Chain A
Amino acid sequence: MKLYDWINERIDLDSAVKFATKKQVPVFYGTVWYYLGGVSLFLFIVQVFTGILLILYYQPGATTAFESVKFIVSKVSFGWLIREIHSWSANLFILFIFLHMFTVYFAKAYRKPREITWYSGFILLLLAMFFGFSGYLLPWNELAFFATKVGSDIAGAVPIVGDFLLKLLRSGDEVSGATLTRFYGIHVAVLPLVFTLLLGLHLMFVQLQGMSVPPEQENLPHDKRKYMPFFPNFATRDLLLWLIVLNVIALLAVFFPWELGQKADALASAPAGIKPEWYFMFMFQTLKLIPAHVWFMEGELFGIMMFAIAGLIWFLVPFLDKKANHGKKSLFWKFVGIFAIVFIVGMTIWGYSV
């Protein structure tokens, strides 16, 4: 306790402990959804640790990237494990952020006064997807190369700024070693910095405002609402779930390793049936289904604009859903959410089945 006292005298640990023990977590049918944010946070921590270990051996560059990843998985002690955990954890990270977002959406946790938490969470999702997109290229294999080519092509179709975006992403006209270096910089420096700052804000908002409950729970009389202490009850449950998730990742890493494939070759033709990462699949499949021309514009441009508008509406839902702000049910926004899930799941399954 001497160490605690030593620190406490300097930075007032007592207040933090008091805050943690006083913090209450609502107990109701939806308490289980609160864990999704915690799991996402845990997976981010796993990403940071495994990512740092990978940096020790990874060498960006068109002539070294693939070879260094091969070296990591075949020669470095437990290198394969670190890479597999990083890859699986990355995918689960985005999956859990999606799940977290939808539970927050249906619980209407975005309503006043938590609008900024929603906005920051939505941006964190976009950043996580960009994390995935930039990291996917780093092994510099055939699939990654062409997926990046297709992905950046889509960015290039954005009106007015498309050409600028394309060149900004690729560091030139084509996907090349320069693109790889750029993606590496973004993946290991820019995104972690921005993501960590925004995540800090996001968590700070959650701590300051406490856990949100759905309107019908909020309207219950005070004596009928149940709570559990955040520390140690909820935190211990969080830890239990984290351990299970860690075990699942280890299981996936051993039995379902990510194939390294063939080294990227800019002169080779694209492999048949090339597909993006699963979290981009619904957009990719939709763009494929849109006709070449819609009304007066190109089909691809039309699709991108539709996704941009849909994304903006989703982002602004705290502002648009007036009823939720007044603690009322809003069926329309509930159906919007159900449609979004059906659309994303449906298009993803369709994309993988063709």
Chain B
Amino acid sequence: MKHLIQLLFYICLSVSWVITAPSDDSDGCIACHQIIDEDRDDDEKIMTHIMEDVHFQKGLSCSDCHGGNPNAGDDEDEAMWDADDFVGAVDKKDQPRFCGKCHSDPEYMRQYSAHLKTDQESQYWSSHHGQKLSENDEHVAVCTDCHGVHGIYPIKDPRSLVYHMNVPTTCKRCHSDKDIMANSGLPTDQFDKYKSSVHGTALFDKKDIGAPACNDCHGNHGAMPPTILSISDICGTCHANNAELFKGSHLREIFIKENIKLCEGCHNYHDIQKPTDESLDWSENETCSHCHPNDQDKAKNLSNALFNIIDSLNIKIEEANETVDLAENKGMEVSELFFSLEDAHKNLIQTRTSIHSFNEEFVRKTSEDGYKAADAAIIGAEQALTEFGFRKKGLIVFSLILTFFVIVLYLKIKSMENK
């Protein structure tokens, strides 16, 4: 009987433990604030995504950032106000330092990942956002404006506000808002321009995450507008050959002297369009004539010469494509010629790039390999077409011989059957 009572006691104890055992969401702060959230409008709720937050996922709770006592139960004073380290809603001007408490501490951050950077706060203070904030201008972005507050996701998570595909939309929230940007002296059409640009189209329409977003040119935490000299370095990060060639061109010094930004002087910024070969055609485009109103002849000659080199190579490659297609459609084995066509096409891209040297001779020399490759494809395809002609002639001869034998046999059959 004694053992039975003991057994019942342990069973009751176990059941009560299971019922009352604390779970992840039984943190005192979360329990109370979720109840408070229930009476709030959706856009004012602060706990909606708390469980998915990267900090929460890594094992941090509210008190790790805000201090206080999460085990104080219903006692609000003990939970928050009586605690020395309690920090409630963080003032905007204190936000970078608040996050920086941990994110600027290499020792602390190392426990989560050896690769996590810890220079975000110092970079931030060097940015325009940070500089303005330190001047007590609160019309600037702080950590939470870009990363969110209680629903912060890792940057590689597509739900994150700073996931590569989401960056332009996140920046747009302030930079396209005329009220927020009213005293900044900055325009608010950057997003619309970017969206219609070659980069924006690649990112939004083609979902190409290799396409640059705002932060790729302006930086992340140390966001600054590029200067005249730095713009080619920024564009050159991806367009390395173009930047290198332009650096060696005679135009570079002129651009600097005339205070023209190196790449955007011709390509614009934010609304950068896909360049076409026709951009070089003086009669079709005003890109060059915009800066060359007085010495048009020299610039016009160079522009037209470059256009002609590229256009001729284009025509040559087109001819090669058509000839190879023709041979292939006749059923000839021409797969090796596609390597030549590929070489020619690669060279066309190199030739287009080479115009950043603004050196006609250099561009012409670059295009030579393209002509050679296209010619090789044309010669190969023509040989295949000649071979096809030979096959046709052979077939005719063969058919004639067979037809002769067929007639002879037919006559033989007739003569046999007439006997």
Residues of B within 8 A of A254 (CB): 391-392, 394-395
Contact of B81 with A by CB under 8 A: no
Q: Which residue of A lies closest to B403 (CB)?
A: A247
Segment from B189-197, B240-248, B406-414 that makes contact with A: B406-414
Which chain B residue shows the least CB distance to A75?
B333
A237 on interface, CB distance cutoff 8 Å: yes
Known: A247-B398, A251-B399. A260 touches B405 (CB 8 A): no
Across the interface, B333 reaches (CB within 8 A) one of A73, A244, A250, A251, namely: A73
- Contacting residue for B409 out of A243, A251, A255, CB 8 A: A243
Q: Give the residues in chain A near B409, CB-CB below 8 Å.
A: 236, 239-240, 243
Q: Does A304 contact B (CB under 8 A)?
A: no
> What residues on B are CB-neighbors of A232 within 8 Å?
416
Interface presence of B402 (CB below 8 A) = yes
Which residues from B are CB-within-8-Å of A256? 331
- Bound Cα distance from A141 to B331, whole angstroms: 16
A263 to chain B, nearest CB (A): 10
Whether A223 is near chain B, meaning CB under 8 Å from some CB there, is no
Task: Give CA–CA (A229, B366) in the complex, Å.
Answer: 78
- In the assembled complex, the Cα of A154 lies from the Cα of B413 at a distance in Å of 49
* A167 interface residue per 8 A CB criterion: no
Q: Which 6 A-B pairs have the closest CB atoms?
A: A257-B331, A74-B333, A240-B409, A247-B402, A254-B395, A73-B333
| CB interface residues, A 81-121, toward B, < 8 Å | 81
When the two chains form their complex, are residues B406 and A251 in contact, meaning their CB atoms are under 8 A apart? no
* Interface residue ranges of A225-241 to B (CB < 8 Å): 228, 232-233, 236-237, 239-240
Q: Is the CB of A237 within 8 A of B413?
A: yes
* Chain B residues packing against A (C-beta within 8 Å): 331-333, 335-336, 391-392, 394-395, 398-399, 402-403, 405-406, 409-410, 412-413, 416-417
Q: Are A250 and B399 in contact (CB under 8 A)?
A: yes
- We find that the number of chain A residues with CB closer than 8 angstroms to chain B is 24
B288 to nearest A CB, angstroms? 44
Which A residues lie within 8 Å of B405 (CB)?
A: 243
Q: How far is the CA of A263 from the CA of B394 in the complex (A)?
A: 30
Distance in angstroms between the alpha carbons of A260 and B328 in the assembled complex: 11
Residue A70 at the chain B interface, CB threshold 8 Å: yes
Q: Mark A239-277, 1 if CB is under 8 A from B, else 0.
A: 110011011001100111101100000000000000000
How far is B413's CA from A257's CA once the two chains are assembled, in angstroms?
34
In the complex, how many angstroms separate the beta carbon of B40 from the nearest chain A beta carbon?
49
- Distance (whole angstroms) from the CB of B405 to the closest CB of chain A: 6
Q: In the complex, are the beta carbons of B416 and A233 less than 8 A apart?
A: yes
Task: Tell me if B412 and A243 are in contact (CB < 8 A).
Answer: no
A70 touches B391 (CB 8 A): no
Q: List residues of chain A with CB under 8 Å of any chain B CB.
A: 70, 73-74, 80-81, 228, 232-233, 236-237, 239-240, 243-244, 246-247, 250-251, 254-257, 259-260
Residues in A whose Cβ lies below 8 Å from that of B412: 236
A212 to B413, CA, bound (A): 23
Task: Give 21 CB contacts A-B under 8 Å.
Answer: A81-B391, A228-B417, A232-B416, A233-B413, A233-B416, A233-B417, A236-B412, A237-B413, A240-B410, A243-B405, A244-B402, A246-B402, A247-B402, A250-B395, A250-B398, A250-B399, A251-B395, A254-B394, A254-B395, A255-B331, A257-B331
B403 to chain A, nearest CB (A): 8
Q: Establish whether residues B395 and A260, one from each chain, have CB atoms under 8 Å apart when the complex forms.
A: no
Contacts of B331 in A (CB 8 A): 255-257, 259
Q: How far is the CB of B148 from chain A (nearest CB, A)?
A: 38
Most buried by B among A70, A74, A246: A74
Contacts of B332 in A (CB 8 A): 257
Shortest Cβ distance from B417 into A: residue: A233
A183 vs chain B, min Cβ distance (A): 23
The CA-CA distance from A244 to B409 in the complex, in Å, is: 11
Q: How far is the CB of B410 from chain A (nearest CB, A)?
A: 6
Considering the chains assembled together, what is the distance between the CA atoms of A223 and B417 in angstroms? 19
Cα separation A240 to B410 with both chains bound (whole Å) = 7
| Cα separation A233 to B412 with both chains bound (whole Å) | 9
Distance in angstroms between the alpha carbons of A240 and B402 in the assembled complex: 9
A74: chain B residues within 8 A (beta carbon): 333, 336
Interface centre among B332, B333, B336, B402 (most CB of A within 10 A): B333
A37 vs B154: C-alpha distance in the bound complex, in angstroms? 73
Q: Name the CB-closest residue of B to A229.
A: B416
Identity of the chain B residue whose Cβ is nearest the Cβ of A83 in the assembled complex: B333
Residue of A nearest to B408 (CB): A240
Q: Which residues of A contact B392 (CB under 8 A)?
A: 254
Residues on A with beta carbons closer than 8 Å to the beta carbon of B336 = 74
A265 smallest CB distance to B (angstroms): 15
Of chain B, the residue at the smallest CB distance from A71 is: B333
The answer to whether A70 touches B335, judged by C-beta atoms less than 8 angstroms apart, is yes
Cα of A250 to Cα of B392 in the assembled complex, Å: 10
Apart from A236-B409, A236-B416, A246-B402: 7 A-B pairs, beta carbons within 8 A: A70-B335, A80-B391, A233-B413, A247-B403, A251-B395, A254-B391, A257-B331
Q: Please determine whether B406 and A244 come into contact, CB atoms closer than 8 angstroms.
A: yes
Residue of A nearest to B416 (CB): A233
- Contact, CB under 8 Å: B402 / A243: yes
Please name the residue on chain A nearest to B334 by beta carbon.
A74
Q: Which of A240, A243, A260 contacts B335 (CB 8 A)?
A: A260
Q: Chain B residue with minimal CB distance to A74?
A: B333
Question: Measured between alpha carbons, how far is A254 from B409 in the docked complex, in Å?
Answer: 26
A240, B406: Cβ atoms closer than 8 Å: yes
A88 to chain B, nearest CB (A): 12
* Known contacts A240-B409, A243-B405; A80/B333 CB under 8 A: yes
For B392, the closest partner residue in chain A by CB is A254
A236 to B416, CA, bound (A): 10
In the assembly, what is the distance between CA of A200 and CA of B219, in Å?
A: 82
Q: Using CB atoms, name the residue of chain B closest to A263.
A: B335
Most B CB contacts (10 A, CB to CB) among A70, A228, A240, A246 go to: A240
**Which residues of chain B are near A239, meaning CB under 8 Å?**
409
C-alpha spacing A251/B394, complex, angstroms: 10
- In the bound assembly, the distance between CA atoms of A247 and B332 in angstroms comes to 20
